[in-house]
Amino acid sequence: MPQLKATPASALADEPVHIRATGLPPMQLVTLTASLKDERGNLFRSKAFYKANEAGELDLQEAPSLGGDYVGVHPMGLFWSLKPERPFRRLLKKDVMSSPFSVTLDIYNSVCLLESAMVQPSASQVVQRWFRCPGTQRVQIWEGRLRGALFLPPGEGPFPGIIDLFGGVGGLVEFRASLLATHGFAVLALAYFAYEDLPQLLREVDLEYFEEAANLLLAHPKIQGPGIGVMSVSKGAEIGLAMACFLKQVVATVCINGANAIFDFPLKYRDLVMSPIQSFMERMETDVSGAVRLFHYRGDPRDKANRQSVLPIEKAQGQILFIIGENDQSINSREYAKQALEQLKSHGRSNGRMLVYPGAGHLIEPPYAPLCYASRNNAGSLILLWGGDPVAHAAAQEHAWGEIQMFFRQHLTQTRSQL
């Protein structure tokens, strides 16, 4: 009688799962599948073909997939290769506190190319993937004009504080903040447009809004000062880099696939207004999937006419870590990070470094999240190409997540001991 066992059956979303099968016919070819429905009912599936050993056993930590959505030894491949049944859907956990993602694992005693209700699995198991640990507190933030959610780890603290910024997806995205809180950080997931009474569309970036968020975080009794970190991606990483440049409260900044200059909308801070670099609609390209590649869409920060729009990274007092996906199809992020580091060096500064991940795309998420190759923009009118090779992207997510935590631990806890 075949049995399928995944341990732990309930775990954090960034923790690996050990998948094994026993009781199979010796040397049997089998199909392993994973499926989950998000909170909107969108179905995500993956599959891989394996061969049992002479004892009728299968261990995904040792056995290679022979085909399907990935090939080779990838113990978590069924998770990171999940694909939306309806194209261009991005898997995003909305309610991080009260429910996990439930992933159903099935094994079939044959090679099943097509899903069919007529074929029943030989064995199944449901795996729960949580985005918070027991004792995590979620505090809704509605102070002045600030909108967000603060995640506090269990215990008295004080904890290193981080502001978490996403990009053009808009709204309040909480899954990364809640996961970081499971690792001992107090994290403010901050919305800045398309949420509650905030502007529906982003027309300008007011850096004082983000300064207010930094001050709110530092004023909290469970936050360890004297400085905070910023975790940021895409448009959020452009804002995160601006925070590093202008806000003394920011001592450690992670920029995932962002720009080194102001694009699309002006940035305002007190009396300063930085105009965006011109973009060129005619340089948009359409991928074979129908998604739009924005890689060549933006003007060049190195052009003399654009120098006033380049962020003064040499003013940043804290440490900056650029996380770069070399297969980013949305932003020329490697070039922008390179320019930023050269700018630092030309001013005798060495407080920035870059991690480059070959094959990784634009949306580098926590480990085991499926690659989102393309998805609809916030307005829903355009399908945007993000890029990434699934295997390389998965490896990048796993490595970068550890590097990000080490970076914040080093620079947020060190500042306290230096006082």
Question: At which residue do the structure tokens 């199979």 appear?
Answer: 24
Closest CA to 171 of 149, 186, 154: 149
3-state DSSP assignment of residue 269: strand
For 234-246, b/e burial (b = at least 16 CB within 10 A) is bbbbbbbbbbbbb
Tokens of 229: 């970190």
3-state DSSP assignment of residue 389: coil
Supply the residues annotated as catalytic. 234, 328, 362
Specify the long-range contacts of residues 197-205, CB closer than 8 Å, at least 24 apart. 197/147, 198/147, 201/378, 201/379, 202/168, 202/170, 202/235, 202/264, 202/265, 203/265, 204/265, 204/266, 204/267, 204/268, 205/238, 205/239, 205/242, 205/262, 205/265, 205/266, 205/267, 205/268
Q: Are 108 and 31 in contact (CB under 8 A)?
A: yes
Q: Are 48 and 107 in contact (CB under 8 A)?
A: no
The amino acid sitting at 327 is N
Whole-number Å distance between alpha carbons of 111 and 122: 13
Which of the 8 DSSP states describes residue 189?
A: E
Count of C-beta atoms within a 10 Å radius of residue 308: 12
Whole-number Å distance between alpha carbons of 247 and 311: 13
Cβ contacts of 236 within 8 Å, gap of 6 or more: 165, 166, 167, 258
Conformation bin of residue 234: beta by default, left when phi > 0, alpha when psi is -120 to 50: left
Q: Are 276 and 266 in contact (CB under 8 A)?
A: yes
Tokens of 52: 């049992």
